[in-house]
């Protein structure tokens, strides 16, 4: 049994999809990051970085319980635990998957995250930051479109943890920021390869199962007070330095 500490956000959605793909038994616990539950001492014992997702695998290495945080580390851990071809063992295929996984972890996640932040939560007067992250988001979309024009999936011919990591970020935009993306001229109309890839993943049985759970537990951000937002974003009386 695996315990998943979750919220309704893309980094957590990856893990729901992975667990469904692998058919592993799991139980999820919602952590309300808008209320600061990620800073509670019991949660910090699981992840000193105070972020979801976290898993606790009761049958970890050597049969002992093991805790894993950071979504990329969790995907690799679960792939290696089960020996799935979602992370191939053949070196060329494996490192192709790793490279596109790293692009999600170090590029798409942080840059789309900042793009979303400046579009939705920043006070007015941040034109430079808005432009910077819009431009970078647009560049990353172009990168994905070009890659998927060459290969069926991000890592190569086969579906992998690189696709699982990237899909929720694209879905998040397609659901929430339709108008913004139209303004940015990012839509699946101009991106046939991204659209093909998105549909291929969205219609996988395991992804459909995961999305039922994901959509039943959306981020509770509409109940967040100004203080909740200040705590989450480290601003106002929560600012450091």
Residues of this chain that bind ligand GSH (CB under 6 A): 7, 9, 11, 33, 38, 50-53, 70-72, 109, 232
Min dist CB 189 to ligand GSH, Å, is: 28
Within its chain, how far is the Cα of 61 from the centroid? 25
| Closer residue to ligand GSH, CB minimum distance, 7 or 96 | 7
| Closer residue to ligand GSH, CB minimum distance, 2 or 191 | 2
- Give yes or no for a contact between 200 and 240, defined as CB atoms under 8 angstroms apart: no
Min dist CB 185 to ligand GSH, Å, is: 27
| Phi, psi (rounded to 5 degrees) for 69 | -120, 170
Omega before residue 26 within 30° of 0, cis? no
Question: 42 is written with which tokens?
Answer: 């019991």
Q: How far is CA 99 from CA 49, 68, 127, 225, in A?
A: 24, 21, 32, 39
* Alpha carbons 91 and 89: distance in angstroms, whole number: 6
| Closer residue to ligand GSH, CB minimum distance, 30 or 50 | 50
Min dist CB 179 to ligand GSH, Å, is: 23
- Give yes or no for a contact between 22 and 84, defined as CB atoms under 8 angstroms apart: yes
Min dist CB 109 to ligand GSH, Å, is: 6
* Alpha carbons 42 and 233: distance in angstroms, whole number: 21
Min dist CB 160 to ligand GSH, Å, is: 17
| Closer residue to ligand GSH, CB minimum distance, 169 or 198 | 169
| Closer residue to ligand GSH, CB minimum distance, 4 or 52 | 52
Give SS3 for 6.
strand
């Amino acid at each position: 049994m695996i315990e998943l500490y979750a919220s309704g956000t893309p980094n957590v959605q990856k893990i729901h999809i992975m667990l469904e793909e692998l058919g592993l038994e799991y139980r999820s616990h919602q952590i309300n990051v808008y209320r600061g539950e990620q800073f509670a001492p019991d949660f910090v014992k699981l992840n000193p970085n105070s972020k979801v997702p976290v898993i606790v695998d009761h049958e970890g290495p050597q049969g002992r319980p093991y805790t894993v945080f950071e979504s990329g580390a969790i995907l690799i851990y679960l792939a290696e635990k089960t020996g799935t071809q979602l992370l191939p063992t053949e070196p060329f295929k494996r490192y192709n998957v790793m490279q596109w996984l790293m692009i999600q972890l170090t590029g798409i996640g942080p840059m789309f995250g900042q793009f979303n932040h400046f579009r939705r939560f920043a006070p007015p007067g941040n034109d430079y930051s808005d432009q910077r992250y819009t431009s970078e988001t647009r560049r990353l979309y172009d990168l994905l479109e070009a890659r998927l024009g060459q290969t069926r999936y991000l890592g190569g011919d086969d579906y992998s943890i690189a696709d699982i990591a990237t899909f929720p970020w694209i879905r998040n935009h397609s659901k929430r920021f339709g108008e913004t993306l139209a303004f940015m001229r990012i839509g699946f109309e101009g991106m046939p390869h991204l659209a093909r890839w998105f549909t291929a993943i969205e219609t996988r049985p395991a992804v459909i199962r995961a999305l039922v759970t994901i959509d039943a537990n959306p981020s509770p951000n509409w109940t967040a007070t100004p203080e909740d937002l200040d705590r989450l974003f480290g601003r106002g009386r929560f600012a450091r330095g």
